[in-house]
């Protein structure tokens, strides 16, 4: 098992609080961003739903108005057919017959006129004149379809330019007039000005880049408001466009899609007018719908960004202060654990490491070696060169001992006076002897101090704890001390190991 180094443990303890602080700040920023994004997203959905509800209300309002007009036209046509099928009602003065045939209150110029066509397509009755205007409609699609399809019912025509008067663009509502024997006797037809829908749509405020549209199920445009110069004209077909095909398929509802005629997204709200071949369509520009939301989103996002940057900046400042505090504490701890003269660990630090390594050796059943080092004849050397020379030699010996130690887990400390101690975790006898001899030889090879002819030497005693041995820490240190005394007694400048 590899022991963690003191430097790695120190780095971990140094970065751990800062790492937690940075992680916590990042999580807080992510939480703020997530919450703001969720709220903005929900607000966007709310704006979209509100716009769809508003558009749906407009569609329903227009649908109701169109349906009411169609019903009025249909009632007028049915009344005309009923009167035509009763000849006795037609043998009255012309003005009275006009009142009987046509609902004068309904067939106002704002809507259009109603005509009675005979089996040849000629005008027999005209809601706008007691004397019918002369025209033939036998070539028109509604006339031919009613003639060929008896059960057609109410028919709404595509948009057309009126032949009579100045009705401009119109659509017609028509019904077949059938005789008592089922023969074709003509048709009743009413024209509705498309400008009527324009006036209806103008009352609605839907925005500058939006529009209200009326189309038939063949995809032809019947009315649009606002009508801009660049917009397609009345009668333009949209039947091949994907958005219209979806509208035709779904009958009513809302969706957002890319417009094939304009750049950008459009919001479509639509409804089929009952069973009639008419579709009311409200188109909103997504940019216009979300314009106010986008301003709010930019403002909120900017404020959130500033807040998040502020949190991260304050976190960096706080992290820097924590590092400074930690470095100061480490500096104080280092000073408290360092011998001021030699720079090695002091006695207090030595005692802590000895207890820790002894406990680890007992727990992991690993060997532990201790070197006791004493500078030979130090008092004599001190008398010759004074305390300054002695201090210099102690520093040189300490530097040499520390240089000989290779493993980060090993500890060299000043034991007291001219004595040093080296703690060697997980080191057996051979390794301890090898390191001790290297220290002894390195000290002996040191350059002599000043003009002193005698080299500085050290005596070293080794204490060794083997796994399973009946021994305590005091006994281990005692063995190292006894070995040091033997080294001194045997001539100094030598290494003595523990007795077998």
Half-sphere exposure of 430 (CA within 13 A, CB side): 0
On whether residue 48 sits in a domain, the answer given is: no
CA dihedral (122, 124, 126, 132) positive or negative:
positive
Determine which of 99-108, 136-145, 198-207, 408-417 has the lowest per-residue pLDDT on average. 99-108
On whether residue 13 sits in a domain, the answer given is: no
Position 253 pLDDT exceeds 60: yes
| Distances 378 to 117, 342, 345, 393, 459 between C-alpha atoms, Å | 141, 15, 21, 9, 11
Torsion (CA) 306, 311, 312, 314 in degrees, nearest 10? 120
CB 330 within 8 A of CB 14: yes
Q: What is the pLDDT of residue 500?
A: 65
On whether residue 257 sits in a domain, the answer given is: no
Per-residue pLDDT tens digits for 122-160: 998 888 888 888 889 999 989 999 999 988 889 988 888
Question: Pick the residue with more confidence: 282 or 129?
Answer: 282
Please give the backbone phi and psi of residue 282, each rounded to the nearest 5 degrees, phi first.
-110, 125
Query: Where a domain ends, among 160, 193, 226?
Result: 193
Report the phi/psi class of residue 165: left, alpha or beta, with left for phi > 0 and alpha for psi in -120 to 50.
left
Q: What is the pLDDT of residue 110?
A: 52
CA dist 106 and 108 (Å) reads: 5
Q: What is the pLDDT of residue 11?
A: 45
At 147, which CATH number? 3.30.450.20
Report the run of H or E that residue 359 belongs to, with start and end.
helix 347-364
- Summary mean pLDDT of the chain: 86
- What is the Cα 140 distance to its own chain's centre? 60
On whether residue 104 sits in a domain, the answer given is: yes
Per-residue pLDDT tens digits for 56-79: 888 888 889 888 888 888 888 898
Query: Where a domain ends, among 142, 172, 193?
Result: 193
Q: What is the pLDDT of residue 7?
A: 43
Quote the domain boundaries for residue 401.
338-496
At 472, which CATH number? 3.30.70.270
CA dist 403 and 392 (Å) reads: 17
CB 468 within 8 A of CB 429: no
CB 51 within 8 A of CB 131: no
Position 105 pLDDT exceeds 50: no
Q: What is the pLDDT of residue 84?
A: 85
| Distances 431 to 356, 369, 426, 434 between C-alpha atoms, Å | 21, 9, 10, 5
The position carrying tokens 């809507």 is 111
On whether residue 171 sits in a domain, the answer given is: yes
Helices (H), 135-191: 141-148
- What is the Cα 399 distance to its own chain's centre? 59
On whether residue 222 sits in a domain, the answer given is: no
Mean pLDDT to the nearest integer, 427-450 = 92
Position 283 pLDDT exceeds 50: yes
Contacts 24+ apart (CB under 8 A), 331-340: 339/398, 339/413, 339/414
Structure tokens at 366: 């690993």
- Say whether 91 sits in a helix, a strand or coil: coil
Indicate the DSSP class of residue 131.
S
Q: What is the pLDDT of residue 295?
A: 93
Cβ contacts of residue 428 below 8 Å, gap of 6+?
367, 369, 464, 466
Per-residue pLDDT tens digits for 364-393: 999 999 999 999 999 988 888 888 989 999
Q: What is the pLDDT of residue 230?
A: 75
Q: What is the pLDDT of residue 499?
A: 77
Q: What is the pLDDT of residue 482?
A: 94
Per-residue pLDDT tens digits for 474-483: 999 999 999 9
Per-residue pLDDT tens digits for 314-323: 988 888 888 8
Structure tokens at 294: 């986008």
Position 163 pLDDT exceeds 90: no
Give the chain's domain count.
2
Per-residue pLDDT tens digits for 284-334: 888 888 888 999 999 999 999 999 999 999 988 888 888 888 888 887 777
The most confident of the ranges 2-11, 197-206, 252-261 is 252-261
| Distances 182 to 7, 118, 151, 495 between C-alpha atoms, Å | 110, 15, 11, 137
CB 188 within 8 A of CB 175: yes
Q: What is the pLDDT of residue 8?
A: 44
Question: For residues 122-153, b (16+ Cβ closer than 10 Å) or e, as one string?
Answer: ebbbbbbeeebeeeebeebebbeebbeeeeee
Cβ contacts of residue 167 below 8 Å, gap of 6+?
112, 113, 191, 193
On whether residue 10 sits in a domain, the answer given is: no
Position 42 pLDDT exceeds 80: yes
CB 418 within 8 A of CB 341: no
Q: What is the pLDDT of residue 104?
A: 53
In sequence order, the β-bridge partners of residue 250 are none
Q: Tell me what percent of the residues of the chain surpass a pLDDT of 70.
A: 94
Mean pLDDT to the nearest integer, 248-254 = 90
Question: Pick the residue with more confidence: 362 or 3?
Answer: 362
In sequence order, the β-bridge partners of residue 237 are 220
Q: What is the pLDDT of residue 6?
A: 44
On whether residue 139 sits in a domain, the answer given is: yes
Q: What is the pLDDT of residue 10?
A: 45
Query: Where a domain ends, among 193, 223, 257?
Result: 193
């Amino acid at each position: 098992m590899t022991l963690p180094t003191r430097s790695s443990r120190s780095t971990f303890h140094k970065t751990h609080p800062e790492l937690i602080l940075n992680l916590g700040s990042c999580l807080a920023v992510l939480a703020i961003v997530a919450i703001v994004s969720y709220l903005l997203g929900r607000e966007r959905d709310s704006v979209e739903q509100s716009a769809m509800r508003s558009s749906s209300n407009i569609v329903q309002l227009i649908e109701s108005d169109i349906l009411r007009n169609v019903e009025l036209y249909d009632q007028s046509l049915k009344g005309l057919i009923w009167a035509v099928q009763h000849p006795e009602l037609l043998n009255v003065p012309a003005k009275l017959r006009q009142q009987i045939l046509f609902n004068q209150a309904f067939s106002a110029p704002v809507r259009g006129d109603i005509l009675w066509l005979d089996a040849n397509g000629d005008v027999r009755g005209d809601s706008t004149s007691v004397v019918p205007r002369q025209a033939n409609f036998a070539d028109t699609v509604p006339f031919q379809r009613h003639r060929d399809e008896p059960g057609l019912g109410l028919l709404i025509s595509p948009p057309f330019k009126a032949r009579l008067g100045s009705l401009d663009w119109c659509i017609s509502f028509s019904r077949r007039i059938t005789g008592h024997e089922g023969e074709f006797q003509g048709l009743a037809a009413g024209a509705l000005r498309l400008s009527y829908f324009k006036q209806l749509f103008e009352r609605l405020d839907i925005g500058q880049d939006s529009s209200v549209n009326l189309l038939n199920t063949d995809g032809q445009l019947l009315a649009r408001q606002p009508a801009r110069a660049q917009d397609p004209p009345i009668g333009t077909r949209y039947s091949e466009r994907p958005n219209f095909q979806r509208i035709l398929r779904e009958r009513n509802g809302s969706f957002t899609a890319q417009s094939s005629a304009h750049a950008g997204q459009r919001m479509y709200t639509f409804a089929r007018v009952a069973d009639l071949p008419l579709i009311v369509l409200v188109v909103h520009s997504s940019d216009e719908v979300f314009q106010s939301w986008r301003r709010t989103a930019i403002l909120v996002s900017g404020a959130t960004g500033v807040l998040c940057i502020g949190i991260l900046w304050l976190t960096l400042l706080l992290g820097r202060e924590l590092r400074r505090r930690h470095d100061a504490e480490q500096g104080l701890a280092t000073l408290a654990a360092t011998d001021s003269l030699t720079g090695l660990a002091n006695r207090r630090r030595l005692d802590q490491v000895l207890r820790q390594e002894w406990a680890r050796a007992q727990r992991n059943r690993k060997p532990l070696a201790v070197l006791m080092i004493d500078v030979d004849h130090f008092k004599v050397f001190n008398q010759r060169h004074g305390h300054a020379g002695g201090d210099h030699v102690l520093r040189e010996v300490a530097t040499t001992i520390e240089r000989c130690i290779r493993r980060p887990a090993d500890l060299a400390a000043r034991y007291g006076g001219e004595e040093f101690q080296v703690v060697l975790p997980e080191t057996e006898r051979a390794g301890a002897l090898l390191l001790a001899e290297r220290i002894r030889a390195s000290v002996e090879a040191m350059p002599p101090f000043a003009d002193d002819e005698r080299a500085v030497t050290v005596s070293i005693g080794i204490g060794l704890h083997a796994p399973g041995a009946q021994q305590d820490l005091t006994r281990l240190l005692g063995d190292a001390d006894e070995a040091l005394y033997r080294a001194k007694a045997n001539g100094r400048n030598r290494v003595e190991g523990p007795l077998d």
